[in-house]
Amino acid sequence: MFKISISPYFRSACILKMSGKYKLFRHTLYSILIIILSFAVLPSYAGIVRVGKNQAIQSVQQGILQAKEGDTIYVHAGIYHESKLIIEKSITLVGKGWPVIDAQNKGEIFFIRSRNVWLQGFKLQHTGRSDMKEIGAVMIYDSYAITVYNNQIEDANFGISVQNSKRCTIKDNHIKAFNKNEVLSGNGIHGWKADSLIIIGNAISGHRDGLYFEFVKNSLIWRNKSTENVRYGIHFMFSNNNTYIGNIFEKNESGVAVMFSSKIQMYNNYFHDNWGDATYGILLKEITDSHISGNSFVQNTIALQMEGCSRIKVFKNKFINNGFALKIQASCDDNDFTHNNFIANTFDIATNGTLVLNTFDGNYWDKYEGYDLDRDKIGDISFHPVSLYSMIIAHNPAALMLFRSFMVTLLDKSEKLMPIITPESLVDHFPHMKPFDL
Amino acid sequence: MMRKIVKYVLGDIIRNKMVLVYTILLFVISLSVFNIETNTSKGILSLLNIILLIVPLTCIIFSTIYIYNSSEFIELLVSQPIKRKTIWYSLYFGLVLSLSLAYIIGIGLPALYYFPNAKGAMILIVGLFLTWVFVSIALLIAGSSRDKTKGIAIAIVSWLFFAIFYDILVLFILFQFQDYPLEGAMIVLSFLNPIDLSRIQLLLQIDAAAIIGYTGAVFKIFFGRGLGILICILCMCAWFLVPLWLSVKIFQKRDI
């Protein structure tokens, strides 16, 4: 741990400058100052505070009180029944051998309101819950450059909550809860009004929303695994300019829902097994100017639902074995779908109107029955991916009774030959003959 | 006495070779479907429409024609001191036994071999019920009309009705009353057609119904649970017992 002690020199330099008497020597002084500064950057070891059952300090609370700015606190293995640990200085807290901090349902465990805090290697559990406020294992407020690394959080109402903070890193944490219903549970990682967060490699399950962001911008969400949450795997609103890469969203009660945001990049994420009534692989509502690429949508009730979305490029995604691969409302415009694979979905596309302002050219559809005489690997006749029955069932869900009935197959075939009800402009002019290698 | 007649009817049908062709047809279809489709659920889905169309069609047409063709044999039996009820039931059991056997060999056993679970069992049960129901409807048709041509025509029309027209009717109702919640009505309507009922039961087994939101959930809750399945079985039983009972009544009163 390195500490830079520059303040005395800096202060004297300022005094000299302000006095005005040494203007002639100013340049000399500056060069001296720079030399002195470069020497001042010497490693000065910060203090180490040890907390443990066999140490002088036996509670984490005491340890934090004793620590000075820049100190490191080592907390040794053991169970600490503590809560409401307030950190308001730049310290490093490291758990040795997974110390357990058990709040015994009395409330929050760590409050952090500081700069440059590092929190690592703890097992935090049993925060309890409250109807009045959000209780979390790690609460970060008005802070800057906080790192929460490699902790286990179990049975917390909220896992890690970041509010009104910048440049925080949340990495490799395991956050697990055992919630049964939406009202009583909190979110795994909760971001509110934050900027430049880096959230990497966390595993979250059993919370209300695995990841929840509101007014979070310029953030990177990478390689997280959000599974079996009570509501959404990830849920964000009013959060622009964020990038989501390689995350796994599996078996969440309602899948994933994201709303009212723009400039979202979603690459190579997995949306798997989000199965049930009103469950979406991903629900996009009022999302604009975004990219969705390289994602894999497998076994979802509705893989991708879009409402009021504009200018989204959806390319090189896999849609396999979904109920509906894509439900796109007529309120979407200027979205472009290309180079996607649509394989073994019950319905490839459903829509709720005849107005189509989006393009669907150049995808692979396993339901395409056309031919390719000139052998350019692009079908010679265009493909209408919306089936009549999907239109019927969108308007009239009770028509499920006729699901896969022979009559429906007949109607679909005749509609394919002569589209009357299905939107004629929802068409792939250049359907690929073979699936893309994605 | 009944056993003797059943045995005779069985022997007659098997010698007829039609049932043999039917068995081989089903067997070829099921084997090819199961071997071509790598995805197991998709295999069942492909088989679904084949079962729901071919089984009822064959059963109803074959049974109707068989009853008409054996009118002389029936007349002979009626002249003997045998109860008419016994004759009619024997004919029914003869037909049902041979066609069920054909189904078990043609589709039931391959299905159980490829899916030794609830899915395979459901395919078997659904097909057997359809066989019994449509043989019994055939007997009602053949019993109530003496004219062979008219009888066969009615048989074809009733197959068309159950397989296609009924669904069109349902679609019509759906559109006429689309402002109302129709889930309950749809459940009732599906009980009124053995083919629809079989299809829904099969689809629930391969878990394809969960995909369509609220209605899917309603169907699953009703048809997927113990009481729902019991009601379905009772309903299918009613579908072959009631026409059979009616046809017996008609046959007893008929002037041969």
Task: Indicate if the pLDDT at residue A164 is higher than 70.
Answer: yes
Tally of domains within chain B:
1
Which residue range forms the structural domain that includes residue B187?
2-253
Across the A/B interface, how many CB contacts are shorter than 8 Å?
A: 89
Q: Which pTM value belongs to this model?
A: 0.79
Instruction: Report, as an integer, the average pLDDT of B29-55.
Output: 81
Contacts of A346 in chain B (CB under 8 A): 208, 211
Question: pLDDT category, A387, cuts 50, 70, 90?
Answer: confident
**Which range (A129-138, B144-153, B199-208) has the least confidence?**
B199-208
Percent of chain B whose predicted confidence (pLDDT) is above 90: 54
Distance CA A130, CA A278 (A): 29
Instruction: Report, as an integer, the average pLDDT of A60-85.
Output: 93
Cβ atoms of A363 and A435 within 8 Å: the answer is: no
Q: What angle do CA A33, A37, A42 make, to 5 degrees?
A: 160
ipTM metric: 0.81
pLDDT at B1 (0 to 100): 77
A322 → chain B, closest CA residue: B211
Percent of chain A whose predicted confidence (pLDDT) is above 90: 67
* Secondary structure element (H or E) that encloses residue A287, with its range: strand A280-293
Taking the alpha carbons of A417, A402, B120, A342 in that order, is the dihedral positive or negative? positive
Choose the CATH number for A48-417 among 2.130.10.10, 2.40.50.140, 3.40.50.300, 2.160.20.10.
Answer: 2.160.20.10
A11 vs A104, which has greater pLDDT? A104
d(CA B198, nearest CA chain A) in Å: 11
pLDDT at B234 (0 to 100): 92
DSSP string, A403-437: TT-HHHHHHHHHHHHS-SSS-TT--BSS-BSS---
A418 vs A123, which has greater pLDDT? A123
Distance CA A272, CA A297 (A): 6
The domains of chain A are located at 7-40, 48-417
Digit-coded pLDDT (tens) for A403-434: 888 888 888 888 877 777 888 889 999 999 99
Digit-coded pLDDT (tens) for A169-208: 999 999 999 887 878 889 999 999 999 999 999 999 999 9
**What 3-state class would DSSP assign to A174?**
strand
Task: Indicate if the pLDDT at residue A373 is higher than 70.
Answer: yes
pLDDT at A214 (0 to 100): 96
Question: Residues with Cβ < 8 Å from B40, sequence gap 6 or more?
Answer: B114, B115, B119
Closest CA to A75 of A97, A90, A45, A91: A97
- Between strands A347-351 and A296-298, the pairing is unpaired
pLDDT at A1 (0 to 100): 42
A346 touches B at CB < 8 Å: yes
pLDDT at B223 (0 to 100): 79
Instruction: Report, as an integer, the average pLDDT of B168-181.
Output: 89
pLDDT at A14 (0 to 100): 47
Question: pLDDT category, A16, cuts 50, 70, 90?
Answer: very low
Contact criterion met (CB < 8 Å) for A277 and B216: yes
Question: pLDDT category, B241, cuts 50, 70, 90?
Answer: very high
Distance CA A92, CA A74 (A): 8
Contacts of B214 in chain A (CB under 8 A): 277-278, 397
Task: Indicate if the pLDDT at residue A4 is higher than 60.
Answer: no
